[in-house]
Amino acid sequence: MTKTSTINLAAELLKAGRLVAFPTETVYGLGANALDAKAVRRIFQAKGRPSTSPLIVHVSSRAMAKRVVAKWPPTAEKLAKQFWPGPLTLVLPKAKQVPTIVTAGLQTVGVRMPAHPIALALIRKTRLPLAAPSANRFTELSPVTAEQVTKGLGTAVDLVIDGGPSNVGIESTVLSLAGSTPILLRPGMITREHIEAIIGPIELAQNAKDGEAHASPGQHSRHYSPRTPLRLGAPSKPAGTVYLWWSKKRPAQFPIPMPADPAQYAAQLYDTLHRADELHAREIVIEPVPNTGQWDGIRDRLLRAATQTIIA
């Protein structure tokens, strides 16, 4: 099947209320028509996702974004011009047509324009905004390849579009513009410093409580986790190295060197953890990454994924 015919089929499925997994530059998303509450409910069922965790709506243009929000302030226009298409989600007051199941019952909605040609082609073909969280079971590792989607969700997805590996590798930065002060809800590879260079100072969100509606996805205390227990070890060099430990009968450690560059590290992180899971080690140990702004998104994912943290 050609890429065009695959996108045509996917668009028809989405318009019929079905689920399609598709690549974005961050991770693979599990998509449904964001304006169809019944279709969106299928996302929550497929993922085992709690209703307190809102979904991000993906659009193909700023004009489409303005149709799903009630307000589009100048700060949104500045940031969208600078970072879209790209891994930045803006949280704004929602338009009436957006079902509350998308927004966890809140009156705000997260919206972004992905920087992947297949994602953009699919949205343009459907002419619909697509609700699309990561295409995995809730709290588990996000998929960065089509194969990982299939392994994780199986027949819960009507179609998986293979667009190759995601090149950013972790989920988008999420910034709320719904109040008087911009608030960073989830760090990512577009950093606080990048954003403040465009719109000035922003605040950092307080930790959200599990069981309550969250202003952004990715705020649960446990998230992004491999099946193998993951521990953040005490600092040593080289920072960020991934180690696999087996049982006492196989005490030797197996190191997986990781890049020193944060963008390259993020691009490899989830795929490395997926591969580590397949080796059935007793434990994954990751050395802490640098405590600087460029690493904030990666450090956030590691802290939420870890079952134990030992940081001196």
Quickly count: other Cβ atoms within 10 Å of residue 205's Cβ: 18
User: Which tokens is 242 given?
Assistant: 């991934």
- How far apart, in whole angstroms, are the C-alpha atoms of residue 112 and residue 89? 5
What whole-number distance in Å separates Cα of residue 106 and Cα of residue 193? 28
For the chain, domains (ranges, CATH) are 3-204 (3.90.870.10), 230-309 (no CATH)
What's the average model confidence in pLDDT over 215-236? 78
Q: What is the pLDDT of residues 9-38, one digit of tens each?
A: 999 999 999 999 999 999 999 999 999 999
C-alpha Rg value of the chain to the nearest Å:
19
Q: What is the pLDDT of residue 97?
A: 97
**DSSP symbol at 230:** E
- pLDDT at residue 257, rounded to an integer: 85
Q: Is the pLDDT of residue 180 over 70?
A: yes
Give DSSP secondary structure letters for 7-71: HHHHHHHHHTT--EEE--SSS-EEEEETT-HHHHHHHHHHHT--TTS--EEE-SSHHHHHHHBS-
What residues pair up with 33 in beta bridges, in sequence order?
130
Selection from 254, 48, 7 nearest residue 136 by Cα: 48
Mean pLDDT, rounded, for 229-254: 68
First to last CA, the chain: 53
pLDDT at 309 over 70: no
What's the pLDDT at 134? 97
Say which residue the tokens 């299939």 belong to.
150
In this prediction, residue 308 has a pLDDT band, given cuts at 50, 70 and 90, of low
The pLDDT of residue 140 is: 93
Q: What is the pLDDT of residue 293?
A: 94
Residue predicted with more confidence, 267 or 251: 267
Q: What is the mean pLDDT of residues 237-250?
A: 66
> 3 pLDDT band (50/70/90 cuts)?
confident
Q: What is the mean pLDDT of residues 184-205?
A: 97
pLDDT tens digits, 138-157:
999 999 999 999 999 999 99
| pLDDT confidence of residue 249 | 55
Cα separation, 209 vs 217, in Å, equals 12
Count of residues in the chain: 312
Q: What is the mean pLDDT of residues 52-57?
A: 95
- CB of 260 within 8 A of CB of 238? yes
| Confidence at residue 283, expressed as pLDDT on a 0 to 100 scale | 86
Q: Which token pair is 65? A: 């974004």
Residue 160 host element (H or E):
strand 159-160
Across 108-122, 127-141, 205-219, least confident range:
205-219
Which amino acid, one-letter code, is at 165?
P
Q: Region 114-143: what's the mean pLDDT?
A: 97
What pLDDT is recorded for position 297? 97
pLDDT at residue 312 in the model: 42
Please tell me the distance from the alpha carbon of residue 124 to that of residue 292, in angstroms, as a whole number.
38
Helix (H) / strand (E) element for 79: namely helix 74-83
Angle at which helix 296-305 crosses helix 262-278, to 10 degrees, equals: 20
